[in-house]
Structure 1
Amino acid sequence: MPNKLSACTSILIGKKASIDGSIMVGRNEDAKAAWPKHMVIHPHGAVPRKFISKETKLEIDLPDDSARYSATPEWTDKYGLFEEDGINEYGVAMSATESAYSNSLVLGADPLVKNGLNEEAMVTVVLPFVKTAREGALRLGSLIAKYGTGETNGVLFADDNEAWYFETGAGHYWVAQRIPDDCYAVVANQLAIQEIDFNDPENFMFHPGIQEFVEQNHLNPDPTTFNFRKIFGTADRSDAIYSEPRVWIGHQMFSPSQASSETPESTELPFLMKPDRLLSVIDAQNYLSNHYEGTEFDPLTDGPNAHKYRPISLAKTQESHILQTGRKGPSIHWLAMGVANESTYVPFFNGITKLPAPYGRGKLPAQLNSAYWIFKHASVLVDSHLHDFLPLLRDVQKERNSAAQKLIRETDEKVPTLHGDALTNFLNAQSDKFATDTLTAYKNLALELITKMTDYCELNFKTDENL
Structure 2
Amino acid sequence: MGRGLCLFLTVSLGLQLCWGCTTGVIGRLATTDGATYVFGTSDTENGDFRAAVVRGKKHKAGSTRRIYPLKQVYPHLVSEDRSFTWSKENLEDLPQKDLWNPTEPIFSIPQVNETYSLIETGAGYGLVNEFGVAMGESTCGARFVQKPIFDGGYAAFEIGELSQIALERTKTARDAIKLMGSLAEQHGYYGAFYNDPAQQHNEAGEALTVADGKEAWVFHITPDDTGKSAVWCAQRVPDDSFSIVANRFVIREVVENSDDFLYSSNIFEIARRHGLWRKEQKLDFVRVYGPLDDDLIKYSTDRVWRAAQLWNPSRGESRENRQNYPTNFHADRPISFEDVNALLRDHYEGSEIDLTKGIESGPFGDPDRYDKFPGDGLSAGDLREHSFLRAISMFRSIYYFIQRSDTSLPKEVNGRVLMGFHEPSESIAVPLYVCSKTLPKQVVSGSMFAYDDTSLYWAATLLGNWVHKAYVHIHPFVMPLINNFETNMYNEMDKVEEEAAVLIKAGKKDEAITLLEGKQLEWSIDTREFLRTTFYQIVSKFHDGLVYGNPAGESVTVHSVFYPREWLEAIGVFSSPFPVVENSKKRSLRER
What is the TM-score when the length of structure 1 is the normalising length? Answer: 0.87
Change over 3 Å in CA distance of 1:230–1:455 after alignment to 2? closer
Q: What SS is found at the alignment partner of 1:169?
A: strand
Q: Is the 8 A contact 1:133 1:157 kept in 2?
A: yes
| 1:290 has 2:375 as partner | no
The CA deviation string for residues 106-154 of structure 1, in whole angstroms up to 9 with x for no partner, is x2xxx42333311342333332122211111111101111222222000
Give the structure 2 partner of residue 189 of structure 1. 247
Give the structure 1 partner of residue 66 of structure 2. 51
Give the structure 2 partner of residue 427 of structure 1. 516
Q: 521, 533, 536: which is aligned to 1:444?
A: 533
Task: For 1:252, give the aligned amino acid.
Answer: Q
Q: 42, 50, 55: which is aligned to 1:38?
A: 50
Q: Distance in 2 between matches of 1:406 and 1:212?
A: 53
| 1:90 has 2:99 as partner | no
Q: Is the 8 A contact 1:36 1:373 kept in 2?
A: no
1:13-412 → structure 2 map (5 Å cutoff): 13-32=26-45, 35-45=47-57, 49-55=64-70, 58-64=106-112, 65-73=114-122, 82-95=123-136, 97-103=137-143, 107=144, 111-115=145-149, 116=155, 117-151=157-191, 152-171=205-224, 172-200=230-258, 202-220=259-277, 223-234=280-291, 238-258=295-315, 260-263=316-319, 266-303=322-359, 308-326=388-406, 328-329=408-409, 330-331=413-414, 332-363=416-447, 364-412=449-497
Q: What SS is found at the alignment partner of 1:160?
A: coil
Q: Distance in 1 between matches of 2:206 and 2:165?
A: 16
Q: Is the 8 A contact 1:93 1:158 kept in 2?
A: yes
Q: Is the 8 A contact 1:220 1:226 kept in 2?
A: yes
Q: Distance in 2 between matches of 1:287 and 1:235?
A: 30
State which drifts further: 207-216 or 233-242.
Answer: 233-242
Q: Is the 8 A contact 1:319 1:335 kept in 2?
A: yes
The CA deviation string for residues 290-332 of structure 1, in whole angstroms up to 9 with x for no partner, is 1111124233222579864221111121111112112544223
Q: Is the 8 A contact 2:207 2:249 kept in 1?
A: yes
Q: What is the Cα deviation at residue 174 of structure 1?
A: 0.4
Q: Is the 8 A contact 1:245 1:264 kept in 2?
A: no
Q: What is the Cα deviation at residue 230 of structure 1?
A: 1.8
How many residue pairs get matched?
A: 439
- Asked which structure has the greater CA Rg, the reply is 2
Q: What is the Cα deviation at residue 288 of structure 1?
A: 1.9
Q: What SS is found at the alignment partner of 1:437?
A: helix
Q: Distance in 1 between matches of 2:41 and 2:126?
A: 10
Change over 3 Å in CA distance of 1:397–1:264 after alignment to 2? farther
Q: What SS is found at the alignment partner of 2:314?
A: coil
Change over 3 Å in CA distance of 1:167–1:58 after alignment to 2? farther
Give the structure 2 partner of residue 77 of structure 1. none
Task: For 1:425, give the aligned amino acid.
Answer: T
Q: Distance in 1 between matches of 2:317 and 2:139?
A: 27
Q: What is the Cα deviation at residue 350 of structure 1?
A: 4.2
What is the TM-score when the length of structure 2 is the normalising length? Answer: 0.69
Q: Distance in 2 between matches of 1:158 and 1:2?
A: 19
Q: Is the 8 A contact 2:214 2:407 kept in 1?
A: no
Unaligned runs of 5+ in 2: 6-18, 72-104, 150-154, 192-204, 225-229, 362-366, 370-387, 547-592
RMSD: 2.6
Change over 3 Å in CA distance of 1:327–1:345 after alignment to 2? farther
Identity over the aligned pairs, expressed in percent? 22
Q: Distance in 2 between matches of 1:214 and 1:39?
A: 39
Q: Is the 8 A contact 2:117 2:434 kept in 1?
A: no
Give the structure 2 partner of residue 462 of structure 1. none
Change over 3 Å in CA distance of 1:181–1:11 after alignment to 2? same
Task: For 1:25, give the aligned amino acid.
Answer: V
Q: What SS is found at the alignment partner of 2:167?
A: helix
Q: What is the Cα deviation at residue 451 of structure 1?
A: 2.2
Q: What SS is found at the alignment partner of 2:25?
A: strand
Q: Is the 8 A contact 2:30 2:240 kept in 1?
A: yes
Q: Is the 8 A contact 1:165 1:179 kept in 2?
A: yes
Q: What SS is found at the alignment partner of 1:175?
A: strand
The CA deviation string for residues 32-83 of structure 1, in whole angstroms up to 9 with x for no partner, is 1x5441122112229983324233964122424321111222xxxxxxxx33
Q: What SS is found at the alignment partner of 2:523?
A: helix
Q: What is the Cα deviation at residue 166 of structure 1?
A: 0.9
Task: For 2:351, give the aligned amino acid.
Answer: T
Q: Distance in 2 between matches of 1:367 and 1:9?
A: 27
Task: For 1:391, give the aligned amino acid.
Answer: P
Q: Distance in 2 between matches of 1:94 and 1:266?
A: 25
Task: For 1:360, give the aligned amino acid.
Answer: V
Change over 3 Å in CA distance of 1:113–1:236 after alignment to 2? closer
Q: What is the Cα deviation at residue 175 of structure 1?
A: 0.5
Q: What is the Cα deviation at residue 15 of structure 1?
A: 0.3
Q: Distance in 2 between matches of 1:253 and 1:236?
A: 29
Q: Is the 8 A contact 2:30 2:334 kept in 1?
A: yes
Structure with bigger RCO (C-alpha 8 Å, 6+ apart): 1
